[in-house]
Amino acid sequence: MRLLLISNSTNYGEEYLGWPRQNIKNFLSASGIKNILFIPYAGVGLSADRFVKSYDLYEDKVNKVFNELGYGIISIHKDIEPVQAIKDAEAIAVGGGNTFHLVHMMQKIGIMDVIKERVLEGIPYMGWSAGSNVVCPSLMTTNDMPIIQPESFRCMSLVNFQINPHYLDASAQGHAGETREQRIEEFMIVNKNMPVVGLREGTLLQVEEDHISLKGARPMRYFRFGAEPQEFKPGSDINFLLK
């Protein structure tokens, strides 16, 4: 299993997929892959037009980056047989946006279990933000508004922990609501056996078979029910996450 789980696509002031670009290139460099199947269904807000136009814009945006790296992007929304497209894919990239809409569409067209099967067979999987959420057991640690109701909150369970992308340590100035840590603690009170990784912006998790590593400029925050949160810096041994 090969996974590249990116917290966020873009850091402030940078180009789209700017900060993780070298990580993506390194991840794919020895694979011999030429084309990547793109899943755009989280991209609801890219256009004021209908979703299809929104997906076209998203495909173009991602394609520009991957072309510069030497790869082609083919978006699944243009394929009349999406399940077969997954079965034929060399690699899969799942973009960020709204996780509820992403899960709704993956369940609706029947590709979630097929993606899981292909990833377990060894094809590379890349996801950023919502695309990282869906490798977890559920979408319940997303930050997104539930703009649509999926069939269920179930995701792919390619990892045995939850990810909270874009993890923030404190609330914005003037905000009196719960912090992100408090929200995660609420989740763990109800889901006591499910740990959560707070993945800060500018960081990613890379899985290569039975090894997982944290890469980027900042530490991750690890939450378990009944225990104090722990901090792990890039380069730390975090293989316990896969056990």
Q: Looking at the annotation, which residues are catalytic?
A: 129, 144, 166
Query: 166 and 129 in contact (C-beta within 8 Å)?
Result: yes
Distance CA 57, CA 175 (A): 33
Pick from 89, 111, 88, 90: which is nearest to 41 by CA?
111
Burial class (CB within 10 angstroms; exposed 0-12, middle 13-18, buried 19+) of 121: exposed
CA distances 39 to 22, 116, 159, Å, are 21, 14, 19
Beta bridge partners of 214: 205
